[in-house]
């Protein structure tokens, strides 16, 4: 029980370092991992081994997934391909269902792109549709933000779900499939929330000078824009199908080829390469250190290093033998899939970053999977998504997305809490409820 007490103390110190002293999460997690090792009496060699094994595993596997996903998203954003997808979704659903179309657009765009970027990109459309109708600007922008938050936490290739799946050893194809289903179902109560509640917050858009958007002539086609997203997803699904226990595609060369192409690293590499076809003219400067690839590397680096530090923390916990302690202390309790959810929920509320909450929770839970009865292949997938569900909420004053929404729309902090923040709470609980029902069927 002393080991558990030390774990709680270290987690508290990490949160204080990040929130109170504005320490970078990488340093806080790495320092916390080392402190925990010394507190539980691990030898110096064991602590060093935990650092090198944990960090090295991430750099060789998860780091590349995050990097390729960020490159893909950067090219979609910079070329206007993301906006093409958004406008097509808007056309399909129809402007009469403005909030629903914006909710779905935010959901689609935030699969390959960071949530904050999605909100900023969709803001001109949300603002324009509010200006042309009687719908509150708060409702149109919050619809985008909540759709973006739902897929950002639950569907790879955004960094949080990729990192959590990698740390837990969950099948990425199944995480994508179940994450898509769960997040789409979670949009149903969100739609009613926006329609019945957020629309009552009357905020009208103020016209300001903004940067000139990418002209339609310079944008890629809808099909070209969708390819970098769809091809990796299809490859991962086919690989999962080829290796599924009954092996419906049989044995031989075809399943081996599909398994190779559908491995997450190769599939996302293919997606990143396909994104290079989106610019009308691929200037080699775009691939340079000062071009779009360089920008993607800068954006991906903090996430990769935070993930590495989280993996060190997880390896330290694993090598300390805390799994056996938890197993003996939880024989009577039936926490199951709710423990990772509650951990991620608490960490997200406390420090604001969805990605940090997911990585930290996955690192803590990984050595405890067997003790919690979550070590089967299917439960690893659901555990990954439970972490994502918890890390959805609550997006409030310590989350950059909260300030993006309130500052763009002109909402007060109170209005932001009653719309965006409350909406993320509804999304979180809705997604977890769906996951729990799925876990009952799989059990």
Give me 162's structure tokens: 């990729």
- Which residues make Cβ contacts (< 8 Å) with residue 172, sequence separation at least 6? 156, 162, 165, 236, 264
Average pLDDT of 335-363?
86
pLDDT at 105 over 90: no
Average pLDDT of 3-21?
84
pLDDT at 1 over 70: no
* Cα radius of gyration (the chain): 22
Q: Is 205 exposed, middle or buried (0-12, 13-18, 19+ CB in 10 A)?
A: buried
Average pLDDT of 344-373?
85
8 A C-beta contact, residue 94 and residue 101: yes
CA-angle at 270, arms to 267 and 276, nearest 5°: 150
Q: How many whole angstroms separate alpha carbon 160 and alpha carbon 391?
A: 9
8 A C-beta contact, residue 122 and residue 144: yes
Q: How many whole angstroms separate alpha carbon 429 and alpha carbon 277?
A: 39
More confident residue, 296 or 442: 296
Q: How many whole angstroms separate alpha carbon 139 and alpha carbon 125?
A: 13
- Lowest average pLDDT, out of 20-34, 43-57, 307-321, goes to 307-321
Q: How many whole angstroms separate alpha carbon 431 and alpha carbon 153?
A: 11
- Average pLDDT of every residue of the chain: 84
Tell me the CA distances in angstroms from 168 to 59, 98, 226, 311, one per residue in order: 15, 38, 29, 10
pLDDT at 5 over 90: no
Q: Is 207 exposed, middle or buried (0-12, 13-18, 19+ CB in 10 A)?
A: exposed
Beta strands in 218-327 (DSSP E): none
- Lowest average pLDDT, out of 42-56, 265-279, 346-360, 410-424, goes to 346-360
pLDDT at 182 over 90: yes
Q: Where are the alpha helices (DSSP H) in 366-412?
A: 369-372, 377-390, 400-409
Q: Which of 86, 180, 74 is nearest to 124 (CA)?
A: 86
Which of 131-135, 322-326, 363-367 has the highest mean predicted lDDT (pLDDT)? 363-367
- At residue 438, the pLDDT reads 93
pLDDT at 379 over 80: yes
Q: How many whole angstroms separate alpha carbon 227 and alpha carbon 61?
A: 24
pLDDT at 211 over 50: no
8 A C-beta contact, residue 98 and residue 133: yes
- At residue 324, the pLDDT reads 62
- At residue 349, the pLDDT reads 84
Summarize pLDDT for 253-299 with one digit per residue, the tens.
Answer: 888 888 898 888 888 899 899 999 999 887 888 888 888 899 889 88
Summarize pLDDT for 161-181 with one digit per residue, the tens.
Answer: 988 998 999 998 899 999 999
- At residue 331, the pLDDT reads 47
Q: Which residues of 310-325 are buried (b: 16+ CB within 10 A; e: fewer)?
A: bbbbbbbbbbbebbeb
pLDDT at 325 over 90: no
- At residue 413, the pLDDT reads 83
Q: Is 273 exposed, middle or buried (0-12, 13-18, 19+ CB in 10 A)?
A: middle
DSSP string, 339-379: HHHHHHHHHHHHH--HHHHHHHHHHHHGGGHHHHT--SHHH
- Lowest average pLDDT, out of 7-11, 241-245, 418-422, 434-438, goes to 241-245
């Amino acid at each position: 029980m002393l080991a558990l007490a030390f774990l709680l103390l270290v987690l508290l110190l990490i949160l204080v370092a990040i929130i109170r002293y504005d320490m970078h999460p990488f340093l806080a997690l790495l320092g916390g991992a080392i402190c925990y090792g010394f507190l539980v009496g691990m030898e110096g060699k064991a602590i060093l081994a935990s650092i090198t094994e944990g960090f090295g595993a991430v750099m060789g596997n998860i780091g590349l997934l995050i990097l390729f996903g960020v490159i893909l998203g950067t090219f979609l954003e910079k070329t206007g391909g993301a906006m093409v997808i958004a406008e097509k979704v808007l056309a399909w659903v129809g402007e009469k269902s403005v909030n629903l179309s914006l909710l779905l657009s935010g959901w689609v765009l935030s699969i390959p792109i960071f949530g904050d970027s999605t909100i900023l990109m969709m803001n001109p459309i949300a603002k324009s549709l509010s200006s042309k109708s009687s719908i509150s600007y708060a409702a149109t922008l919050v619809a985008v933000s909540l759709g973006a938050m739902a897929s950002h936490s639950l569907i790879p290739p955004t960094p949080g779900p990729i990192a959590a799946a990698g740390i837990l050893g969950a099948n990425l194809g199944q995480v994508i499939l179940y994450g898509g289903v769960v997040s789409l179902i979670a949009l149903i109560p969100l739609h009613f929330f926006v329609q019945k509640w957020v629309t009552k917050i009357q905020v009208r858009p103020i016209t300001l000078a903004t940067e000139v958007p990418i002209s339609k002539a310079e944008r890629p086609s809808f099909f070209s824009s969708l390819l970098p997203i769809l091809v990796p997803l299809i490859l991962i699904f086919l690989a999962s199908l080829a290796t599924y226990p009954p092996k419906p595609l049989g044995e031989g060369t075809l399943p081996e080829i599909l398994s190779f192409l559908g491995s997450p690293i190769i599939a996302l590499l293919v997606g990143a390469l396909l994104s290079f076809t989106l610019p009308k003219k691929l200037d080699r400067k775009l691939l340079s250190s000062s071009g779009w690839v360089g920008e993607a590397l800068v954006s991906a680096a903090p996430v990769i290093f935070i993930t590495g530090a989280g993996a060190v923390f997880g390896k330290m916990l694993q090598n300390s033998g805390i799994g056996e302690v938890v197993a003996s202390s939880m024989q009577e309790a039936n926490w199951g899939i709710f423990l990772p959810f509650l951990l991620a929920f608490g960490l997200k509320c406390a420090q604001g970053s969805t990605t940090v909450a997911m990585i930290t929770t996955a690192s803590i839970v990984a050595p405890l999977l067997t003790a919690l009865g979550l070590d089967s292949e299917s439960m690893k997938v659901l555990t990954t998504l439970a972490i994502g569900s918890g890390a959805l909420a609550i997006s409030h004053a310590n989350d950059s997305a909260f300030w993006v929404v309130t500052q763009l729309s002109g909402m007060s902090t109170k209005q932001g809490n009653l719309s965006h923040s409350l909406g993320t709470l509804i999304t979180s609980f809705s997604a977890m409820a769906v996951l729990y029902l799925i876990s009952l069927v799989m059990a």
